[in-house]
Amino acid sequence: MLNKFAIISSLFLFSCSSYLIQAEEIKPKNLKCGSNSGVAFFEKNGSFTIDDKDFNYKLGLIDKNLDKSDFNFIYISKPQSSGGYVLEVEKITKNKNKHRIYFKENKPPEGSASIAAITATYCFLQIDNLDKVEIFIK
């Protein structure tokens, strides 16, 4: 029994380490995170790539001077009941042609006050050689 468990664990660890060895943590070339209460901004939320027809529109709702030359990936969270939420990028990894972006959305501290408007957090990123993207939200 013990041997069997040891073998399975070894395989699992090998598998993970093999993956970790292959994944490369990268930094975005450009990053802008914040929050926005505009209905038009978050009524469609989630991930947007430069191929998305709303990509430039979303950028423009934050800053009219932004375009695809500045960022090539957008993530807009589901709307929250108030402000005070902060979205951050914990890490980005690249494995072959696949990027994994790990977001963390921090809630307002318990008992704190924040704006009573429906608000979504967002991050705009520019990542070199971006192809396939998988996102993780914490």
Partner 1 sequence: MKNISKILAILSLPLLLSACGGGGGGGGSAGGGASYTVPTCTDAGNSTIRDAEYYGMSNGGTYALARICAGAAYARGATGSGINVAVIDTGIALYGSGNNYHLDFGGNNDSLPSSKIVTPTGSDNVNSDNIPNDDNGHGTHVAGIIGADNDNQADSPIVTNGMHGVAYESKLYIFKAGDSDGAFADAAIANSLSEAITAGVDIINNSYGDSAEIGVDCNSASSCETAIGSSVYTQMEAVGAADIINVWAAGNDSKDNPSVLAGAHLYDTDFKNLSIAVVAVGTDGKIASYSNKCGVVAAYCVAAPGSAIYSAWYFANGYHIATSGTSMAAPMVSGALALVKHEFSSLTNTQVVSRLLTTALDTDEYSQSAIYGHGLINLNTATAAVGSLQTIGGSNLLDDPNTSYNDLVNNTFTSSAAFSNALNAAISGQTMEVYDSFDRANFEVGVSSFFTSGSYTSQNTVENHMARLQPKTKEKVKHKNLYGNFTMEVDGNYVQSSMFQSAGDFLALGFNQSTNSFENAVDPLSGFFNDSNFGNNYLVNPYFHTGSGQDYFMSFNGNSSFGIDTFTNGNNSDLGLAFNLNPLSSTSGDAKYAGDLQIVLGTNYEQNKFLNSSSTGAFATGDMSNTNFTGIKYKKNLGDDFTFVGSGFAGYTYIDKASNSYIDKSTPLLTSTFTLGLAKANFIKKDQRIGFFINQPQRVEDGSLNLRVPTSSDRDRTVTYSNLNVDLEPDARQINFDIIFHKAVTETSNLSANLTHVQNGDHSNSSKSQNFISLFYKKTF
**Positions that interact with partner 1 (CB under 8 A):** 34-45, 61-64, 78-86, 108, 110-119
What span, in angstroms and rounded, lies between the C-alpha atoms of 90 and 106?
A: 11
Residue 87 or 130 having the CB closest to partner 1: 87
Closest CA relative to residue 35, chosen from 105, 90, 101: 105
Residue 100 or 108 having the CB closest to partner 1: 108
Residue 51 or 110 having the CB closest to partner 1: 110
- Rounded least distance, CB 24 to partner 1, Å: 31
Interstrand relation of 86-95 and 73-76 (parallel, antiparallel or unpaired): unpaired
What span, in angstroms and rounded, lies between the C-alpha atoms of 117 and 59?
A: 21
Amino acid at 84: G
- Rounded least distance, CB 120 to partner 1, Å: 10
- Rounded least distance, CB 43 to partner 1, Å: 5
- Rounded least distance, CB 30 to partner 1, Å: 19
Length of the chain: 138
